[in-house]
Amino acid sequence: MFVNFPRWSEDAPVSVAELKDGKPVAYPNDDWNSWRNARKDEVDPKTHFVCVQSVVADGQDRLWVVDAAAPAMAHVVKDGAKLVGIDLKTNQVVKTIPFDPSTVMQASYINDVRISPDGKTAYLTDSGAEGALIVVDLDSGSAKRVLSGHPSTMPDKSVTIQYDGKPLRRPDGRGVEFSADGIALSPDGKTLYWQAIKGKTLYSLPTDALTGWATASFVPESLSDRTLSGKIATVGENGPADGLLISRKDGRMYVTSPQDNAVKVRDLTKPDGGLTTLVQDDRLRWPDTFSEGPDGTIYVTTSHIQDSADYKPGAPISLPTELWAIKANQAAVTGSTGSGTAR
């Protein structure tokens, strides 16, 4: 079981960790986790974790690490933005894919990743100032930024993130402005889903519209934003949501609802299946991102964004965060009004 700790506010003693006996241990080793804010001019950002936003295991026994390389969600550290693959059998880094400034821009914040079932393609969201999707050919390391600034990847101006019954704003009045964040891939790898946190609409795109370009001598017209935009489908409304996951076991989509301290379920087999609340609990302070265990257990992190000093004057810089497990009964998973159990 693996977790990560981004440098959102203060420095962090570890970026990627394996949980052993409930305690985080630097992974894959101390050296990869040795970058520090105060040592940024001494430690090579190409070969060290700078600001890790997500860790996801694929079906080929690899752990993929998304390094946004933007401490405090500010400027991207030069040469730091990358996708790192670690072999879970040897615990060794086997692939490092750097992103150039045309793919991950200065105001970018690459956020989450999903890997195709065949292990050949990675799909990432950019939740920075200009939202986008990033498609990566994992064999060649080639990456392509698509739908940059497109309405489907940008914040929805009509949406205001609420918390505890009032708008969530910084002391200077700014609200939550995160672009494309949550991302999910169908179990067969044929459909990609995403949405902005400051948004309400879930979008999808067939993945065959995004692949097949890495070995071409030029990027085909089929991958242009003009062509892709015509293939985007509006799936339905989730309301503001952070994390998305489609279960391998039942094909349902799990959706985090930060405004409601809740995890919800969408039935993708219906034209607009709508959302059913799976579990709602005051302890789920900003449910963030998901993973699924081999037995179907759904894991979700809580990042407490609304409790942070960015939005709550006087709050401590460092906040405790949690990893929760949700054991759902079958009725709840299939979209009924039954309740799951969080622990």
b/e per residue 201-226 (b: at least 16 CB within 10 A): bbbbbebebbbeebeeeeeeeebeee
Q: Which residues pair with 85 in a beta bridge?
A: 64, 95
Confidence bin at 328 (pLDDT 50/70/90): low
Q: What is the mean pLDDT of the chain?
A: 91
Count of beta carbons in the 10 Å neighbourhood of residue 320: 9
Q: Measuring CA to CA, which residue among 176, 86, 96, 184 is closest to residue 133?
A: 184
Sheet holding 92-98, edge to edge: 52-57, 62-67, 82-87, 92-98
Count of beta carbons in the 10 Å neighbourhood of residue 11: 12
Kindly report which listed range (17-26, 180-189, 327-336) carries the lowest average pLDDT score: 327-336
User: Where do the DSSP E strands lie in 293-337?
Assistant: 298-302, 322-327
pLDDT in tens, 219-251: 666 667 788 999 999 999 999 999 999 998 889
Position 214 scores a pLDDT of 66
Position 320 scores a pLDDT of 85
Average pLDDT value for residue range 322-341: 58
Kindly report which listed range (227-236, 268-277, 280-289) carries the lowest average pLDDT score: 268-277
Q: Among positive and negative, which fits the CA dihedral 294, 189, 196, 112?
A: positive
> Does the structure show a pLDDT above 90 at 337?
no
Confidence bin at 24 (pLDDT 50/70/90): very high
Average pLDDT value for residue range 307-332: 81
Average pLDDT value for residue range 58-74: 95
Angle (CA) 313-315-318 rounded to 5° is: 135
How does strand 82-87 pair with strand 92-98? antiparallel
Tokens, residue 41: 């001019």
Identify the three-state secondary structure at position 260.
helix
Position 220 scores a pLDDT of 65
Position 302 scores a pLDDT of 96
Q: Which residues pair with 203 in a beta bridge?
A: 194, 234
Whether the full predicted model's pTM is greater than 0.85, yes or no, is yes
Average pLDDT value for residue range 213-218: 63
Cα torsion 274, 278, 280, 284 to 10°: value is -100
CA distance linking residue 225 with residue 22, whole number of Å: 45
CA distance linking residue 133 with residue 127, whole number of Å: 9
> Does the structure show a pLDDT above 50 at 341?
no
